[in-house]
Homo-oligomer: A and B are copies of this chain.
Amino acid sequence: MNYTFSNKIASLKPSAIREMFKSLTDPNIISFAAGNPAPESFPVDDLARLSADIFATSATSALQYSVTDGYAPLRQAVAKRLKQKFNIGKSAAEGDKYDDTTVIVSGGNQGIELACKVLCNEGDVVICENPTFIGGLNAFRSCGAKTVGVPLLDDGIDTDALEQTIKSTPNARMIYLIPTFQNPAGTSTSLEKRIKIYEIAKKYGILIFEDNPYGELRFAGEEIPTVKSLDTEGLVIYCSSFSKILSAGMRVGYVTAPDEIVQKMVVAKQSEDVHTNIFFQMLCHRFITECDLDAHIEKIRAIYRRKCSLMISTLEECMPKSFKFTRPEGGLFVWCTLPEGVDMNAFVKKALEKKVAVVPGTTFNCDPDAPSRSVRLNYSTPTDDQIVEGCRRLGETAREFNI
């Protein structure tokens, strides 16, 4: 039997990163290729205790079918937190121009995919920072949308190029941004640029998808207001999750967006998974309302502050000066740019021979054939010893290129 697949899926490749995981069976390989939270960041004891209590007191509702938009007490707790911490969430009743609604999704990636599904017809365009999150790119492609990249600078997307791209792309439907601790670049968009981007979106009537999985993971520098907090017109779909602060494996995230958009996303979600695992929605709610989430997040920040600082200082020590890297103030990644003349793919291959895995920058390009001189390094998953030894091996690799 010869199978024929839909156009949108036929050309879709599995994420290079997830494929790389499969080849990382050699226990001697140090992986800087993942994006996993540090295992020590999971509040295991609290989750175990609360789980036991859910089984004891609410087993039937925790195991039964539930509503698609999410467990109401969790939605309320999330909305309250977003309002208090990030000034997110409008209510026409309070004199705002429109209503925002918060719903639960099965991880942030589902939020991205649902937004594209409800907004884009086949061939419509999502404008992305270039480079950007591969999971976002693949979600857009899997919906039949096209992606167009706009260069990401140190302080955020190139806003002149963004405006030009919108002008020349009449079927652009959404701007996909990770303004805070961007994946893969590790940089954050300045407040000035956030305002500028929002003004452009407003001028051209185009929606913004603000993906903020790392927003709570700041360990240096000053907080920058979210783009969503600037949203007076109902242009921003905000998405985040509990993956980086409670558990990635449970797949619980949330979307806050204008009610009309959210209702369409809920209808689309109903056809995907009916609802998100209700037991873990209840568990998240219990954790938020009964434990000290802020104190827990402070612990995670301390872990990443230490790991990031260790990676940066070891890289400074081991790598030739011609190799540039970002100094992140939060998130999970360092973005390393190779000197001109070094073949990035050859570098990645040589590093793997020395048993250290990094992700080639081309993975994150909207145009998969476009070149890249960068690689992504993750510091949240490896141990401290692995960070030091892996950076040493990267230094060795770099010196073999004689730069």
Provide the A126-152 mask, 1 if CB < 8 A to any CB of B, else 0: 000000000100110110100000000
Q: Enumerate A261-281 residues with CB–CB distance to B below 8 Å.
A: 261, 264, 266-268, 270-280
A28 within 8 A of B: no
Given A6-B118, A51-B51, A271-B139, CB of A39 within 8 Å of CB of B12: no
A382 within 8 A of B: no
Contact present for B251 and A277 (CB under 8 Å): yes
CA distance A135 to B65 in the complex (A): 14
Q: How many residues of A contact B (CB 8 A)?
A: 86
Among A47, A110, A258, A271, find the residue whose CB has the most chain B CB atoms closer than 10 A.
A271
A37 within 8 A of B: yes
Query: Which residue of B3, B4, B138, B266 contacts A14 across the interface (Cβ within 8 Å)?
Result: B266
Q: Enumerate A239-286 residues with CB–CB distance to B below 8 Å.
A: 243, 247-251, 258, 260-261, 264, 266-268, 270-280
- 29 contacting pairs across A/B (C-beta < 8 A): A1-B98, A1-B205, A1-B234, A3-B207, A3-B258, A5-B264, A6-B118, A7-B121, A14-B68, A37-B64, A44-B63, A48-B56, A51-B52, A63-B247, A106-B106, A109-B273, A109-B274, A135-B274, A138-B270, A138-B271, A142-B267, A142-B268, A249-B277, A249-B278, A249-B279, A250-B277, A251-B273, A251-B274, A251-B275
Task: Report which A residues bind B (CB closer than 8 A).
Answer: 1, 3-10, 12-15, 18, 21, 34-37, 39, 42, 44, 47-48, 51-52, 55-56, 59-68, 98, 106-107, 109-110, 113, 117-122, 124, 135, 138-139, 141-142, 144, 205, 207, 233-235, 243, 247-251, 258, 260-261, 264, 266-268, 270-280
Given A12-B267, A267-B14, CB of A260 within 8 Å of CB of B3: yes
Please give, as numbers and ranges, the residues of chain B lying within 8 Å of A15 by CB-CB distance: 270
Please give, as numbers and ranges, the residues of chain B lying within 8 Å of A110 by CB-CB distance: 272-273
Please give, as numbers and ranges, the residues of chain B lying within 8 Å of A12 by CB-CB distance: 264, 267-268, 271
Q: Which residue of B lies closest to A120 (CB)?
A: B6
Please give, as numbers and ranges, the residues of chain B lying within 8 Å of A42 by CB-CB distance: 59-60, 63-64
CA distance A230 to B276 in the complex (A): 34
Please give, as numbers and ranges, the residues of chain B lying within 8 Å of A34 by CB-CB distance: 65
Contact present for B135 and A271 (CB under 8 Å): yes
- Give the number of copies in the complex: 2
Q: How far is the CB of A335 from chain B (nearest CB, A)?
A: 21
Query: Which residue of B39, B48, B142 contacts A52 across the interface (Cβ within 8 Å)?
Result: B48
Contact present for A1 and B258 (CB under 8 Å): yes
Q: Which residue of B lies closest to A233 (CB)?
A: B1
Q: How far is the CB of A235 from chain B (nearest CB, A)?
A: 7
Contact present for B270 and A68 (CB under 8 Å): no
Contact present for B56 and A39 (CB under 8 Å): no
Contact present for B65 and A3 (CB under 8 Å): no
CA distance A66 to B251 in the complex (A): 10
Query: Which residue of B66, B138, B233 contacts A249 across the interface (Cβ within 8 Å)?
Result: B66
CA distance A247 to B58 in the complex (A): 13
Contact present for A48 and B39 (CB under 8 Å): no
Contact present for B44 and A55 (CB under 8 Å): yes
Contact present for B122 and A122 (CB under 8 Å): yes
Please give, as numbers and ranges, the residues of chain B lying within 8 Å of A264 by CB-CB distance: 5, 9-10, 12
Please give, as numbers and ranges, the residues of chain B lying within 8 Å of A266 by CB-CB distance: 14
